[in-house]
Every structure is written in C-alpha cells, then in structure tokens.
Amino acid sequence: MKNVSRNTETFFGKVSLTLPHGLSPEQVKDWKRDMSMIVRPIVIITTISKEGVPNAALKTNFMIVSSLEEVAFTCPPEHDTHRNIVETGEFVVKRFSSSSLTPQ
C-alpha cells in the first residue's frame, strides 16, 4: 500500500494531519488539541422560510462530493436551515476562495 501523506492547507501553510510517532501521552493530548484548532473552510448556507424570513448559517461540516463540485453538508433537524430546506426545497451555498479574503 502506498504511504499517502495526509496534509491540510491553512493560512500557515501545510499541516500534517497524521499523529507523529514517539509522543508522550501529554504530547499526544496537546497535538490533538492543536489539530482541533486548524482553521477549517467555511460555507454559508442561506435559506428563506415559507413565511419569507431569511436565514444564514455558517457551516464547517461540509465536503465536495464530485468533480462537478457538488457540496454535501449536515444540519440537525431542529435547525432553521434544515426546516427551511425541507419546507421550501431551496437553499444557496456560498463557498469562499482565498481571493474572497483579500481586501479590495
């Protein structure tokens, strides 16, 4: 099996997502804490309720699921976003690129 490096791109460059070997239990705990603070990509899901009330939700739990750049995300049923999508069948996903972060 080919050894594949698991990395993620952050504002600070590439960061390994593979636990380093030879760490003490305390170092493992610190490493896991640090990895949980990696800046994740964010999308905004916007919906409008059947009463016409707009809603915008920030989501970090999403993924690109095909070469056509279709996006999948999760949303608990008790959230307005979920209810609005079920009731109206409509939503908008806004993905940000690095150029979105550059001041104009």
Residue 56 domain-assigned (yes or no): yes
Residue 76 domain-assigned (yes or no): yes
What pairs with residue 8 in β-bridges? 15
Residue 51 domain-assigned (yes or no): yes
**pLDDT value for 89:** 95
CA angle 74, 75, 79 (to 5 degrees): 175
**pLDDT above 60 (res 7):** no
- % of the chain surpassing 70 pLDDT: 65
Give the three-class secondary structure for 94.
strand
Q: Please indicate whether residue 98 or residue 35 has the higher confidence score (pLDDT).
A: 35
Same domain, 35 and 48: no
pLDDT in tens, 72-87: 888 889 999 999 999 9
Contact 94, 73 (CB under 8 A): no
| Measured distance CA(88)–CA(85) in Å, rounded | 5
Residue 86 domain-assigned (yes or no): yes
Same domain, 86 and 54: yes
For the entire predicted model, the pTM comes to 0.55
Same domain, 52 and 26: no
Same domain, 33 and 57: no
